[in-house]
Chains A and B, each alone.
Chain A
Amino acid sequence: MKKLSTPLIAIALAATMAGCAKKPPETLPPEPVDTTSGSDTDVEPTAGQQAGPTPGSQEDFVATVMSDRIFFDTDKFNVDGEDQRILQSQAQWLSQYPNVSIVVEGHADERGTRDYNLALGERRANSAKNYLVTLGVAPSRIRTVSYGKERPQALGSNESAWAQNRRAVTVTVR
């Protein structure tokens, strides 16, 4: 897997891949972790940015990368093509801020038993971590934590909500 040169290319690729089968519905875009800003269309290169998030901050990360999270099929933990492009955009950002560490949070939907979901969250967080490492992010910068089914993002009990909750979310730590 080659590194992409800029986040913009990644965005363009993402646009061509829109409508990919397993992704959560567009009607409910995943919300950023610690900010209210940052959908894909707002993304600009950080260089030359006038106003907006402090470079290297969590807000900047969320505003800059394609997404702070990747999604998984039921009981699956593999990183597919779209996940790879998202993680590439994260790796690109992380290469600009080598002092920033991250926590990758692995999550499962509510339709699983508690212990198994904790293990599944571990698998998902590690899948994202492993791919980031292949992109050149030092393993020492990445911590993983599984929340199993304990921290749902979408609150419904339906396929759409569960699709949004089967996720690995990257959170920056300074």
Chain B
Amino acid sequence: MTQRFPALTAFLAALFALVALSSPAAAQLEGTVTDDSGRNQITIAVPALPTPQVLPTAAGSTEELGKQVSDVIVADLRSSGLFDPIGRNRVRAISYSEVTAPAFPYWSGRNVESLIQGFVRSNGDGKLTVGCYAYDVALGSELSRHGFIVEPADWRRAAHKCADSIYSRLTGESPFFDSRIAYIAETGPKDNRTKRLAVMDSDGANHRFLTSGGTALTPRFSPDYKSILYLSYSGGSPAIYIYEIGTGKQRLVTRTNNATFAPRWSPDGRSILYSMAIAGNTDIYRISANGGRAVRLTNSPGIDVGGSYSPDGSKIVFESDRSGSQQIYVMNADGSGQRRISFGGGRAATPEWSPRGDLIAFTKIAGNFRIAVMRPSGGGERILTNSWQDEAPTWAPNGRVIQFFRTQRGSGKTSIWQVDVAGGEERRLKTPVDGSDPAWGPVRP
């Protein structure tokens, strides 16, 4: 214990807010990365995080927080579908000194493949340090170590960051748990729904309504999470507003008597795409996020609507019925080179480019409405869901999970769901009221 403790103290001293330390002499992973089809879940133990000293914080005692952080890590890892996490209710508690000196024989005797240990410490300045260590039990070695310094109120972020570090280390994928979702909270009867702008963490926690009554639709988080684009009927007609989260102020994206809708950010947050109907004809426009003159990108007599940038900002995938029915097209960011990519039968709508760039998620309409993906070049179509009406996919920041909303036939009640891009792992997100139009933001810095 005393031998290990100086190392831990030195480690703590080197920490700053959300700084990830490189892992010395990390072992190579062997055979633990799951593939898409195999579903070989990694058995991973996550004991409660001990504390060097039980102290009260603004979010509860450090001991209590250690349990809650463990619970959030377990829930995150389980939701990915790639892990079989064993939480604190099924494993013994560990001591603080054990954090950096795992009892490998004990864990290997319980068929645990990976082990997550950590601690919660209250610092003198009122902040928390959450340590997060991952171990390979069979190899008896450390895989990664991270320390996160957060305000007590942000303890869940430290837990998500810890889960993200483990997820990334063990799967080779980019992280996504520490991210937020904007969506529309729905209440009231089918013919008079109140639709409010709302935000929540990727796991549904820290939920907040941002608008009161009225009709808000199709929100999109800015890449820096400082503002949200959305459609509101507050002025009597559909118009796009930018809502500043910090101040609660909002402003119109563009002043016009024409209806504007379907707002989207460019990946760098500098430009905004929107759709505008002039005398009934809808086309897609781009405007600077600071205002100025809009540039018209499409010019067909059909409905051209929506739009989603490729991650490098060079291309836009959008929807058009110029062929006679809703189909998906790709164009260069300046509007040139428009060509259709959806030829899979039925109609294809609401395309969203994966943050990885490798796939387009969309709503496939052929009888029922289903969530599907295809390659940006067209082809390779795979249908991921099967319900009466699933629509409006949005990508997890790492491009591995897709959220969408599902409408119940008859009642019109809506709910937010997610599905793994490989198919399966379909699950419903808990929201305080009905939810639609989910929009997943990037991983937080």
Q: A residues engaging B (CB < 8 A)?
A: 75, 77, 110-111, 113-116, 118-120, 122-123, 125-127, 130, 144-146, 148, 150-153, 155-157
A116 touches B349 (CB 8 A): yes
- Once bound together, how far apart are the Cα atoms of A130 and B275, in whole Å? 21
- Once bound together, how far apart are the Cα atoms of A110 and B218, in whole Å? 16
Please give me the residue from chain B that is nearest to A145 by CB atom. Answer: B237
A146 touches B238 (CB 8 A): yes
B277 touches A122 (CB 8 A): yes
B392 touches A157 (CB 8 A): no
B262 touches A152 (CB 8 A): no
B236 touches A145 (CB 8 A): yes
- The interface residues of chain B lying within 8 Å CB-to-CB of A151 are 191-192
- The interface residues of chain B lying within 8 Å CB-to-CB of A148 are 238
A122 touches B282 (CB 8 A): yes
Q: Is B63's CB within 8 Å of the partner chain A?
A: no
Q: Is B350's CB within 8 Å of the partner chain A?
A: yes
Question: Closest CB-CB distance, A44 to chain B, in whole Å?
Answer: 30
A122 touches B262 (CB 8 A): no
- The interface residues of chain A lying within 8 Å CB-to-CB of B407 are 110
Q: How many B residues touch A, CB cutoff 8 Å?
A: 42
B:348-392 near A, CB below 8 Å: 349-350, 363, 365, 369, 389, 391-392
Known A111-B389, A115-B261, A119-B303: A126·B363 in contact at CB below 8 Å = no
B391 touches A145 (CB 8 A): no
Question: Closest CB-CB distance, A28 to chain B, in whole Å?
Answer: 13
Q: Is B297's CB within 8 Å of the partner chain A?
A: no
A118 touches B238 (CB 8 A): yes
Q: Is B49's CB within 8 Å of the partner chain A?
A: no
Further 5 A-B residue pairs, CB within 8 A, beyond A110-B407, A113-B363, A146-B277: A114-B217, A115-B218, A118-B262, A119-B261, A155-B189
Q: Which 7 A-B pairs have the closest CB atoms?
A: A126-B280, A122-B277, A119-B282, A115-B262, A119-B303, A113-B349, A157-B409
A155 touches B190 (CB 8 A): yes
B193 touches A150 (CB 8 A): yes
B:296-318 near A, CB below 8 Å: 303, 305-306
B 178-207 binary contact with A (CB < 8 Å = 1; else 0): 000000000001111101000000000000
Please give me the residue from chain A that is nearest to B319 by CB atom. Answer: A116
B277 touches A115 (CB 8 A): no
- The interface residues of chain A lying within 8 Å CB-to-CB of B195 are 150
5 CB < 8 A contacts A-B: A114-B391, A118-B277, A119-B261, A119-B303, A144-B280
B325 touches A75 (CB 8 A): yes
Contact of A113 among B192, B350, B412 (CB under 8 A): B350
Contact of A156 among B306, B319, B410 (CB under 8 A): B410
Q: Is B259's CB within 8 Å of the partner chain A?
A: yes
- The interface residues of chain B lying within 8 Å CB-to-CB of A119 are 261, 275, 277, 282, 303, 305
Question: Closest CB-CB distance, B36 to chain A, in whole Å?
Answer: 28
Please give me the residue from chain B that is nearest to A122 by CB atom. Answer: B277
- Once bound together, how far apart are the Cα atoms of A111 and B392, in whole Å? 13
Max chain A C-beta neighbours (<10 A), residue from B280, B363, B407: B280
B389 touches A114 (CB 8 A): no
Please give me the residue from chain A that is nearest to B277 by CB atom. Answer: A122
